[in-house]
Amino acid sequence: MGGVLDGMPAGVWIDVTAVQSALDRRRPGQNDITSPRKEMDRVQFLSGFHPEADELGQLQTLGTPIGFLIQNVDSHSADYAALKEQFRPSHADYSYQAKYGVRDHRGGGRSSARETVCRVVGGALAQQLLPQAIKIRAYVERMAGLGIPDGATYNMEDARNHPTGCPHAETAIAMENALIQRKEEGDTAGGVIACHVEGVPAGLGEPVFDKLQARLAYALMGINAAKGVEFGRGFAGAESRGSLENDVILSLGRTASNHSGGIQGGISTGMPLFMRLAFKPIASIKTPQQSVDHQGNPVIIQVDGRHDPAVLPRAMPIVEAMVALVLADFYLAQRHQTHSDV
């Protein structure tokens, strides 16, 4: 896989180790609840940086497009040979065939989640462009029908200490057991990733067509298997009343609650951003299913190969990357409008 990131300002010092660390969090084959595929996902930068690194191994941007390459080293195209003339249920097989008249059956082509590896690189670069005070943390809130209990205490940083990505210890253990069972059954699970962003200054976003939540939703819903997004209290707030839902203002940039998720009128308020993203269960299951072939004839299909029982643990750095890319765009736009650092 390869990618190009345009629009990065000149003179930004990039910690390549931090970029690789983000890729490592997305990498498969790290535990029993991810795909056994062994991809090292080592990023190789091809352009956009000064040829000389500093003493810490950091590279400085030139203001030109940043090109990079990530080699696939463990692809098994033969695993998909039986699917060449068949459409897998809840995959993009038929929709791609209908649009283009041709498709790459070897893992899904452009609809494969493999392409998200490039998003993680771009997001890791964008994160280093943002002020250090902005901290983006995604974690698994719900998975396999299990969720962090209401009112439970936990540290979001602990999400990176467990293979499920859940920061609540008891729930994480239950989720892991549930995923192992789904995997043994040849089935998969969906869930919800929450993302909390601290340190976002008030004023990012635009009031009409480029509302902050609209751009974030656009970016997040472009992630494979994403099926729903909400900000703040979202759909729960729709069942409430204004007297309970309004965020009472205590001081400039500070409210008593944060039901709006840190955004009002499409512009950041200075309170933490909070959003949730729903992911459907992975569609590649070993259970036999009814489908059709290219001629519309009924077939029974069974998907073999190496697949995750749930996308969520490896999707956390992808969510963080997409949020970072959107915030970096708005940060640069605001700095240009005000001719000063935000």
Say if residue 74's pLDDT is above 70. no
Instruction: Tell me the mean pLDDT in the region 331-338.
Output: 86
Structure tokens at 136: 């983006």
| CA–CA dist 280, 299 (Å, integer) | 24
| CA–CA dist 102, 79 (Å, integer) | 19
Q: How far is CA 179 from CA 120, 161, 215, in A?
A: 24, 17, 32
Task: Identify the structural domains of the chain with CATH numbers, from first to last.
Answer: 2-338 (3.60.150.10)
Q: Give the whole-number percent of the chain exceeding pLDDT 70.
A: 92
| Residue 24 confidence (pLDDT) | 92
Instruction: Tell me the mean pLDDT in the region 55-71.
Output: 89
Say if residue 325's pLDDT is above 90. yes
| CA–CA dist 10, 63 (Å, integer) | 4
Structure tokens at 247: 């965020």
Instruction: Tell me the mean pLDDT in the region 228-234.
Output: 97
Are the beta carbons of 270 and 297 closer than 8 angstroms? no
What is the CB neighbour count within 10 angstroms for residue 317? 26
Say if residue 121's pLDDT is above 90. yes
Instruction: Tell me the mean pLDDT in the region 106-113.
Output: 69
Say if residue 63's pLDDT is above 90. yes
Instruction: Tell me the mean pLDDT in the region 106-133.
Output: 87
Confidence of residue 35 (pLDDT cuts 50, 70, 90): low
Beta bridge partners of 299: 291
